[in-house]
Amino acid sequence: MATPQVITCKAAVAWGAGEPLVMEEVEVSPPQPMEIRIKVVSTSLCRSDLSAWESHAIFPRIFGHEASGIVESVGLGVTEFKEGDHVLTVFIGECMACRQCTSGKSNICQVLGLERRGLMHSDQKTRFSLKGKPVYHYCAVSSFSEYTVIHSGCAVKVSPHAPLEKICLLSCGVAAGLGAAWNVADVSEGSTVVIFGLGTVGLSVAQAAKLRGASRIIGVDNNPHKCENAKAFGVTEVVDTNSYKEPIAQVIKHITDGGADFSFECVGDTDMITTALQSCCDGWGLTVTLGVPKAKPEMSAHYGLLLMGRTLKGSLFGGWKPKSDLPSLVEKYVNKEIQIDDYITHNLPFDDINKAFNLMKEGKCLRCVIHMPR
């Protein structure tokens, strides 16, 4: 088998906070030991890409982490993948050997956890360069490039029959929402659920709660357009925060006779976590937080909320272990047991990637799927 060589391809490079991405010719290194290089087929824009792009993060950088592709080459020691395999990328890996992976209690891998420095897990270097200078990664994926290199532990082999342009949503947003309701909260039949934030993640929580038989699924948002569309995903009633003068937690407690059984914070706002906690009932109310805050990472809440029996839980990627669990989610989609297609509001060619950023910024989309050149 021929040794993989450097590839030159197009990538959308971010040069500064909030600046439009620039199509550049980048060089992509061959995969190193335990890495694979993939040809990205489809990638969608996630809210966390937008938040990191707007913040003073590391630049120059290639964003994108919700993606599907085809293995182009494999590095030394990789036995799980071969050229031509269809894969989903994942922003947290599964090494299957560390304390967390073997515990059966968590999906937070100690070896391939959330990568924040824009480097590869294995050697703390980049695989992208532009005119000899490094270009940094995002979440160990960087899918806004025709080709990318990822650790083999951050990829999941999927059926070649599943449509890559749809299932890319399972590599982050939709899976995160489904898992938060099923794995983290374990939503029960007949329960009352309130969801703060009706983007892709919040609406995926709604879909999961509906499939579990929740009797009331209340969606809360300040975007009237999102409120309008939410019922198609299982939301039974909406609360548009613009329509009320009193605190939203009071509104929820009033309409639920003392608070919801489950509440989900899907906004990425620490003040909203407090509101979600206040919106739960005494005794057994459970709040799950899924959002990634852009500012003010510290949260505060009155200890009495917890003293009265409420629980606050965090959720990363819905508690799914990527390699162990994602193939079965893909299967559920293929068997029409879960819905993905309706979250895709826009399909755009790679050259229009800045349009996708603008649509998300303006709150005019759920998911924009970006199609790479064939």
**Other Cβ atoms closer than 10 A to 337:** 10
For the stretch 29-62, pLDDT in tens is 999 999 999 999 999 999 899 988 998 779 999 9
Buried b / exposed e across 125-136, counting CB within 10 Å, b at 16+?
ebbbeeeeeebb
d(CA 218, CA 248): 12
Spell out the alpha helix ranges (H) of the chain: 47-54, 99-103, 164-167, 173-179, 200-211, 224-229, 248-255, 270-278, 303-307, 322-334, 353-361
Residue with tokens 């515990």, as numbered in its chain: 103
- pLDDT digit of tens for each residue in the chain (374 aa)? 678 999 999 999 999 999 999 999 999 999 999 999 999 999 999 989 998 899 877 999 999 999 999 999 999 999 999 999 999 999 999 999 999 999 999 999 999 999 989 999 999 999 999 999 999 999 999 999 999 999 999 999 999 999 999 999 999 999 999 999 999 999 999 999 999 999 999 999 999 999 999 999 999 999 988 888 899 999 999 999 999 999 999 999 999 999 999 999 999 899 999 999 999 999 999 999 998 887 888 989 999 999 999 999 999 999 999 999 999 999 999 999 999 999 999 999 999 999 999 999 998 999 999 999 98
DSSP code of residue 330: H
- Asked, as a colleague might, if the bond just before 60 is cis with ω within 30 of 0, I would say yes
Q: In this structure, what token pair is assigned to residue 329?
A: 């989610």
d(CA 67, CA 60): 20
Residue 356, C-beta contacts closer than 8 angstroms, at least 6 positions apart: 45, 346, 348, 365, 368, 370
For the stretch 93-104, pLDDT in tens is 999 999 999 999
Q: What is the dihedral of CA 326, 332, 335, 340, to 10 degrees?
A: -90
Burial bucket for residue 196 (CB in 10 Å: 0-12, 13-18, 19+): buried
- DSSP reduced 3-state for 359: helix
pLDDT of residue 217: 98
d(CA 338, CA 162): 13
Q: In this structure, what token pair is assigned to residue 105?
A: 């209690």
pLDDT of residue 1: 65
Tell me which amino acid residue 274 is: T
**This prediction's pTM:** 0.96
